[in-house]
Amino acid sequence: MSKRVIMAAGNWKMNKTPKEAVEFVNELKGLAAGADSEVVIGVPFVCIPNVIEAVKGSNIKVAAQNVHWEASGAYTGEVSCGMLKESGVDYVIIGHSERREYFGETNEMINKKARAIIDSGMIPIICCGETLTQREQGVTAEHVRYQIKVALLGLSAQEVSNLVIAYEPIWAIGTGKTATEEQAEEVCAIIRKLIAELYGTDVSEKTRILYGGSVNAGNAKALFAMPNIDGGLVGGASLKLDAFEKIIKHYA
């Protein structure tokens, strides 16, 4: 079985103008050259065309932070998979807890988005995670399993082996609190076990599972070394060149 390639995926959220994004990428290109990780940056929609142009010739891939599942239509303010694919986007982050909380996204919507992204020739990064209350009540495993089961509904084994899942405990996002390596590993192992139940061990061994939730230059190496953690979905630290360089090279 070939080793899963570590992914260091930055999620910029609502940060950086197109000009700032290009300036950042131009500096990041040299730092990312030769990195063992697959380097991905999830940029705001308005930055995508400039960033796609800026990363040409480098090993950096570009993700969108959301998409609509319909190909076109009366969905003011939304963006389709076709628009992203034609722009040169490789990955699309879906199901982030901020999208679920602030914009009412459901597991069923995330499943529709996953289907549309795959059909368009891109790869979904599907987020899941529990609240502090859910963790304290001991329902983390059930909650995360349910999120992933619905998100993967109707997807084939081949499709699941190529996609990416990001476990992000909601209580650790932007709070500075990080799950311990053991806590993060425990839930990522639960996700991998679920994929094995649904699709078989071969598929579960190929599917990459990331950890997200206050990943930084100081904890990335230990997190990425865990057997079921295949990299990170990185928030604030992906906006800082020095920190993101350490993360993509996973050294402390």
Q: Indicate which residues carry an active-site annotation.
A: 96, 168
Based on its alpha-carbon atoms, the radius of gyration of the chain, rounded to whole angstroms, reads 17
In the structure encoding, which two tokens stand for residue 172, read together? 């650790």
Distance of CA 246 to the CA centre of its chain: 18
Tell me, rounded to whole angstroms, the distance of Cα 66 from its chain centroid: 11
E-assigned strand segments in the chain: 7-11, 38-43, 60-64, 91-94, 123-128, 164-167, 208-212, 231-234
Give 94's strand partners: 126
- Identify each DSSP E strand in 12-106 by its residue range: 38-43, 60-64, 91-94
